[in-house]
A and B are shown apart, each in its own frame.
Chain A
Amino acid sequence: MAAMVSSASGLLAMLGEQHPALKLHALHQLNSLVHLFWPEISTSVPTIESLYEDEEFDQRQLAALVVSKVFYYLGELNDSLSYALGAGPLFDVSEDSDYAHTLLAKAIDEYASLKSKSVKPSDDEAMVDPRLEAIVERMLDKCILDGKYQQAMGMAVECRRLDKLEEAITSSDNVHAALSYCINLSHSFVNHREYRCEVLRLIVKIYQRLPSPDILSICQCLMFLNEPEAVANILEKLLVSGNKDEALLAYQIAFDLVENEHQAFLLSVRNRLPDPKTLAVNRAAQPAETIDQGTSETSSQNENRNAEPGDVHMSDASIATSSNTHIADPNEVSYAEKLTKLKGILSGETSIKLTLQFLFSHNKSDLLILKTIKQSVEMRNSVCHSATICANALMHAGTTVDTFLRENLEWLSRATNWAKFSATAGLGVIHRGHLQQGRSLMAPYLPQSGAVGGGSPYSEGGALYALGLIHANHGEGIKQFLRDSLRNTSDEVIKHGACLGLGLAALGTADEEIYEDVKNVLYTDSAVASEAAGISMGLLMVGTASEKASEMLAYAHETQHEKIIRGLALGIALTVYGREEEADTLIEQMTRDQDPILRYGGMYALALAYRGTANNKAIHQLLHFAVSDVSDDVRRTAVLALGFVMYSEPEQTPRIVSLLSESYNPHVRYGAALAVGISCAGTGLSEAISLLEPLTSDVVDFVRQGALIAMAMVMIQTNESCDSRVGTFRRQLEKIILDKHEDTMSKMGAILASGILDAGGRNVTIRLLSKTKHDKITAVVGLAVFSQFWYWYPLIYFISLSFSSTAFIGLNYDLKVPKFEFLSNAKPSLFEYPRSTTPPTSTSTVKLPTAVLSTTAKAKSRAKRDAEQKAIADKASEKTSGEKSTEKGTGEDGSTGSSSGKGQKPSEKDADSMQVDGATEKKAGTEQPFEILTNPARVVPAQEKYVRFLDGSRYVPVKLAPSGFVLLRDLQPTEAEVLALTDTPSTTPAAGTGSTTAQQGAAAPALAVDDEPQPPQPFEYTA
């Protein structure tokens, strides 16, 4: 009975009727039936269109609506939209149909693109169709009314309607959540830099209007906006209030800011804060104090005084003494004290020091792996030899543990010339962040001013480079020394090291004087020194987009040396770091250049200018170069650069480069491997591993090398229980290293990969984004320069800049680490350290059932000798220091046992008991579904989401962050605090002895200097 009409032809015929009432009737019916009969209606669209255009017809909008729907079904969205606009109010934004949804999306897209276009040339607002605007506004209003605030915010941001954005945020029910959502939005979806600043400015404005502003977030925004003034004001206010909690908050802000590694910004915040000296509180104590421990930094004493970490510790004492002399106002005193602490944090020294303590005490590196590598690597093969040294440096990056080197002095001495340069520089990686004693540690190798022919220029240059690595991005104290060294030498190797060191130490400071010095080196036109100068200039000027770039470009055109051009190309690329659109002219200039090396630099410029933006235009350009450039170098770099552009969205990278990874061109495959390695670093992403796996057994040796390194970068800190392929990969590495017939290139890759995989005593990961999604400039720059190792192996060490420790470090009001426990709500085995390898397995793999070659026999005897030596050394150290050697524990017992360093007993016990707990649990077989972690604890990135803070514990975190530095509020301030982690290469009295012993150590080799190429000295930095 239910009759259905089978065709719309009747209605269409009715449109041809004379009487308007009939037409209207037909239109109404068509409008309701269009979803069924659009194929029939589509032939009559011209009739309906003519109705729409008929001025006398009073229902033109209805006609437009029908036409719009037909076009929608035909897939002609542009036409559909233009008629929908003609339909005016009849187009119902709240209609729940595909048609309405699609057209709305289309309308918003259209509007957004119009808006973003109109912003660029001049404010040509008139271009936007007011009807379009009306639709978008209706939609926004509707979203706000319906409570879909996130949607409204997203659209408002997209459409550049800050007024609506403000409305959406303020009317939302949870303003704080809305604001933080909005911050995320602005970082991940707003491509245009200026506009992002506008959005952030608006957010700050709204924050400030709130009754209880989230100061942490405000400061993050202000940092992005580069407004140190405002941040300084906020911090000052927090300190002045005299409330302890507010001070804690200020410290927390400072730590968060430091995490972003924006040195220039931090410096200006610091300079804008009032100087505690002027408060006349410390005046009496100050000069004496600085002389006390400022032995090494006499020249930079003045500018540097407050930044010195010594202050942090000494301030209590100094205040104590000073308050006796100047009967000061207690408020003033505490204010000055807080200010000093804050400055200490902002200088980055506090966090570096704590990280150093953490890495030292939690070092879990597996010396046996290194030993296996060392034994299997042919002595004469210098590439693998220096790769092994490098792997050691990376494994111990920032831990200050140089046992391996000390145990293998003879072996180490095989490094000659540039290998020696690298070996010495490796020490810088191991001691990274050892700011106070860096110089004394390196003293034996540093060029002795005045002394004739100290060490070889290679170790001297390497030492200068090492100093740069130690002081990377925190080089206030060392700059002057490096400059002097640079000026006082005529040797190009030393110049090379000094330039790199200066670049690292003064990263991003845009210091004119240093720039001039380095430029002078550049103009000497010596291939080796000038190459480093080019890179150094880039490092100095990172992200400044200064005029200097054109100067550098001009010289790159002038010089004949490829090395110099390459160094300059990278340097120029570094100057536009993060400038996005601003850099376009320069990028255009470089990518159009005749010289492939400059085009290659252009790829880096693209990579760095659009780092982490996932900007479509940049990706498009890079892909274009990856397939169309004539030079393999450029193609490789273009693919590699994709990794930098995409690191904020690591999930996307494997998809984008998957085709390229199957290219016939090995350079492109290599680039694809590194691109994945860079952008997915530390994620353990499954797709990334799947993509890299076939490449690790590629037919071309250097592709294997790249794939192995990339794989290690991806898998860093992932253990076998998370992804079984990690275990496979470790075994693969071992196999490659042990295989006699493997190519040197891939062997080197495997050795480096082992180093990266266990970097920093297995307590660091490669992180290019801070927790607030801000790009970590040092890390990105580090990786960018690292990827240059293709041409210059010593640059491998730059990867250490991208290591960041994965630790939760809770701090109390005194910035000490109190005992504090929290929960990791996941099986401990998921995130535990990988088991250390045991000796039997490694020997059995060496013992293959084949004939024993003389080399293996040699290797064996060598191993035995080493073992003996080691035992002796251990005994000796045991005797002398009377402490148990950590390395012996891990190396020989092969257990998961204690790793805590030499130090004061109570803390050692703490750490031990925690470890033992873990061990017993594992042995019991039934694994607990959670784990109690003790401050400071290793929290790997994947673990962060499981971290819970226990209720009812004594300390409450100021900010609920699962890792990094977190200030803890003490709920029972009257009770005595139990501190953890006081054992360190610390500053107080020990520092004095430490430096003196180091000096002694330095003196000894200085006497026996002619012996041999200098091995690292068995210096004792007592701890």
Chain B
Amino acid sequence: MKLNRNAVGWLNVSPLLAVMVPFFIVPIIVVFIASIMQTDGFGGMFWDPSLENYSYIFKSDLTYRLYFETVKFAVLTLVFSAFIGFWVAHFLVFHVRSKLLAMGLFLVCTVPFWTSNIIRMISWIPLLGKEGLINRALIAMGAIQEPLEFLLYSDFAVVVAYVHQLTIFMIVPIFNSMARIDKRVVEAAVDAGASKFDIMRYIIVPMSKSGIALGAIFVVSIVMGDFFVVKVMSGGGTASVVGAFYEDIGVLQYPSAAASAIILTILVMLMVAAILRIVDIRKEITQ
């Protein structure tokens, strides 16, 4: 009479699976297979399964430095974007009284998202450069004599570019979860004598943690998987995990690149799993 509930579910997710299987599961398997193959030194691979590529990576000091750098950028970006995202969303939800104005300001925050990330990144060059606006302004004000070198082509520039690009991924989910907090709960807390800090600690942060977690997943996975911002904004001074194996590919060293890719993927999945352990995102967003 009626289709079984499970059958309907699977039928509806079948188009999704038709994409996920060939474009997510299979590629990961392919990369894994490549990672246990050997290079013939001329850009080709041959089948001689071993974990040599992995042991080589784990023996290299460079690996640990690369991972340290990449995780460092992920954590710094996460901290700054979460901080900015939280307070921007808090301002829009709890301090702007007109709903229409809040929506309008929210859109103002999201507009740059519709423009190219790469363009947004390079747009820092005329500002942060040695002859950029900031250095000129500081010199004109007499605050410094020599232009500040660390502004561009440095770790600082990398973090600035990441935060500039990714804070939106924090604002949207945090705004979403904060908007669902019943204002009367806050009023009840004020009536009960809660201070601003108590309200923040016991109401707003716990109730927006699903948004923070979702934003953290976006930010961590994007920074960990990126190499472009580091490459351009560090001026070549700093490398990244992905950047390193992209260079391997450039010289057709597929097996070692693949091994590095698998390790990175596992690390990212573990980081995301850790976030998901703290917050059951599925339950939170479908409720």
Physical interaction between A and B: no
- Give chain B's interface residues, CB within 8 Å of chain A: none
